Amino acid sequence: MATAKRGATRRVVKPKKTIAWHNVGRQMILLLTFVVIVAAVIYSRQSNILPITHVSVEGEFQHIDKATLVAAVKPHTMGSFLSINVDRISDAAEALPWVRQVQVRRVWPDGLHLMVEEQVPVAQWQESRFINSTGDIFPASKGEVKQTLPVLMGPEGSEKVMMQRFLSMTRALTPMSLSIKQLIMDKRRAWRLVLNNDIKVALGRADSEQRFARFLSVYQHKFQAYHPHIAVMDMRYPNGLSVVWKTGQKPDLNGTV
């Protein structure tokens, strides 16, 4: 009779998988937090939640009426504190006359604060509008045109170039107690100006900056004493100038200039 072999049989026992409950808990907390945030945002964006009830205005004004400004932006403040479109509000305000720039800031929990910069006219443009120091044109209501401001006249689209020249010329003229009453650039891009002493200066198209510099030198050293008699100084000559005297007021220059 055969006998069975005795011995132990090995059996591999697989380890039981353990669940990392701390990781699961962390993920659940993150998911719950996300859901709460999304729900809070959706809730707060409802127009009847945190509505805008107060609009304040900051700025120094001579021409802007605060009540008119608030009335212009009010239709664009209908919404919640978070959903309000501040760009539309600033656009509506900047569409008003004399408003140059508006910055809109939310003020928790129901307010808007408007920081407003008023336009500052440096000159009249074409005798019917205003132009500021950066060459931006803005409208003037009837009766607002200031006769004391200089007048700039040029082709549409030349506003910034003309303002740059105006400011540059003004800086050069100021030490001689002169200022510009009128600066004109015609369609041919030829320049001429009228000074506060009513002298007309023709610079022409080519080399107008060099001609203006020559005018400053010649006027200061030769003609300033005769300014009451001068009607026009024409600088459109390669190496000289011509002077038109007022009728019957040509002075005795005792020689050539």
Q: What is the pLDDT of residues 16-44, one digit of tens each?
A: 555 555 666 677 777 677 655 655 555 54
**Do residues 233 and 134 share a domain?**
yes
pLDDT at site 56: 92
Single out the residue in 118, 143, 166 at which a domain terminates: 118
Q: How far apart are CA 125 and CA 109, in angstroms?
A: 44
- Residue after which a domain boundary falls, among 118, 133, 158: 118
**What residues does 106 pair with on adjacent strands?**
112
State the average pLDDT over residues 145-169: 92
b/e sequence 140-162, b meaning 16+ C-beta within 10 Å: beeeeeeeeebbbbbeeebbeeb
Please check whether residues 180 and 153 belong to one and the same domain.
Answer: yes
Full domain range(s) for residue 240: 123-245
Digit-coded pLDDT (tens) for 117-143: 999 999 999 878 999 999 999 987 656
Q: What is the pLDDT of residue 78?
A: 84
Place 10 in a pLDDT band, splitting at 50, 70 and 90.
low
**pLDDT at site 47:** 47
Whether residue 14 is contained in a domain is answered as no
Whether 185 and 155 share a structural domain: yes
Per-residue confidence (pLDDT) for residue 168, from 0 to 100? 98
Q: Tell me the pLDDT tens digit for each residue of 176-223.
A: 999 999 999 999 999 999 999 999 999 999 999 999 999 999 999 999
Domain count across the chain? 2
Q: How far apart are CA 69 and CA 160, in angstroms?
A: 28
Q: What is the pLDDT of residue 8?
A: 53
The reply to whether 193 and 152 lie within a common domain is yes
- The contacts of residue 185 (CB under 8 Å, 6+ apart) are 153, 154, 155, 158, 161, 162, 191
pLDDT of 14 over the 70 cut: no
Does any domain span residue 233? yes
The DSSP element (H or E) to which 37 belongs, if any, is helix 21-44
Does one domain contain both 102 and 156? no
Q: Which of 67, 92, 118 is the last residue of a domain?
A: 118
Q: Residue 254 has what pLDDT?
A: 62
Q: Is residue 6 part of a domain?
A: no
In terms of domains, do 109 and 153 share one?
no
How far apart CA 86 and CA 94 sit, in angstroms, is: 12
86 & 145 share domain: no
* Residue 83 and residue 195 in one domain: no
- Report yes or no on 43 lying in a domain: no
Which residue in 175, 241, 244, 235 sits closest to 209, CA to CA? 235
Q: Is residue 221 part of a domain?
A: yes
Bridge partners, 102 (sequence order): 116
pLDDT tens figures, 50-61: 788 889 999 999
- The answer to whether residue 220 is domain-embedded is yes
Please give the radius of gyration of the chain, using alpha carbons only, rounded to the nearest integer.
38
Residues facing 99 on adjacent strands: 118
Are 146 and 71 in the same domain? Answer: no
Structure tokens at 3: 């006998």
Do residue 195 and residue 168 come from a single domain? yes
Specify whether 170 is located in the same domain as 96: no
DSSP3 helix / strand / coil % (the chain, rounded to 5): 35, 25, 45
Query: pLDDT value at position 29?
Result: 75
Residue bearing the bigger pLDDT, 238 or 82: 238
61 with 136, same domain: the answer is no
Residue 24's pLDDT is 61
SS3 83: coil
Q: Residue 97: which CATH number? A: 3.10.20.310
Do the domain assignments include residue 256?
no
If one counts every other C-beta atom within 10 angstroms of the C-beta of residue 94, the result is 14
* pLDDT per residue as tens digits for the range 62-100: 889 999 999 999 999 888 777 789 999 999 999 998 999
Answering whether pTM is above 0.85, one says no
CB 190 within 8 Å of CB 222: no
Q: Assign residue 234 the CATH number of its domain.
A: 3.40.50.11690
Report yes or no on 29 lying in a domain.
no
